[in-house]
Amino acid sequence: MTGPQRDPHATDDPSGSAGEGPPADQPVGEPGQPRRSGLRNPEAAVRGLGAGTLALEALVLLLAIQPVRVVGGDLSGAAIGVVVALAVAAVVLAGMMRRSWAWNAGTVLQGLLILGGLLHWSLFGLGVIFALVWAYALHVRRVILG
């Protein structure tokens, strides 16, 4: 058995480009326009991320009502109303992510959930968790779209 075979057409170029195409340090795309990501439609991908984040938040808020009532103590009717209203707002915003203002409204929604902590401590905890997730989604949006 012999060692690995060397391709007779290979060059000693460390970039592996064999002298074809643009240099490895230049992005592929239209001339003069750097390609920001490998996504076909980066705007749609970012909208999907925001909508998915808000939909997940709405689902968690609605599913958290009963465990919080049983384990977390006295969850008042006002707190339940706030949770349901915030979940509905999250679903509406998830459907409106094509609008430019929806990202700002999502940020406000996270602040309102944190303020819901005045009604029950668990709402504050959920608000902090989802504010961190939303901050990450905003970071990804900024990186992908520039």
Residue 34 falls inside a structural domain: no
Number of domains in the chain: 1
Q: Note down the domain range covering 123.
A: 42-145
DSSP state for residue 26 in the 8-state scheme: S
CB neighbour list of residue 10: distance below 8 Å, 6 or more residues apart:
18
Residue 28 falls inside a structural domain: no
Residue 3 falls inside a structural domain: no
pLDDT tens, residue by residue, 29-40: 455 555 556 778
Tell me the one-letter amino acid at 11. T
Residue 54 falls inside a structural domain: yes
How far is residue 64's CA from residue 45's CA, in Å, rounded to a whole number? 28
Averaged pLDDT for residues 46-62: 95
Residue 114 falls inside a structural domain: yes
- Position 146 confidence tier, pLDDT thresholds 50, 70, 90: confident
Residue 14 falls inside a structural domain: no
**Ranges 15-29, 31-45, 102-116: which has the least confidence:** 15-29
How far is residue 9's CA from residue 122's CA, in Å, rounded to a whole number? 65
Higher confidence at residue 65 or residue 114?
A: 114
Residue 137 falls inside a structural domain: yes
**Ranges 21-25, 66-70, 93-97: which has the least confidence:** 21-25
State the pLDDT at residue 26.
Answer: 45
Residue 72 falls inside a structural domain: yes
Pull the structure tokens for residue 117.
């902590």
Measuring CA to CA, which residue among 44, 62, 58 is closest to residue 109? Answer: 58
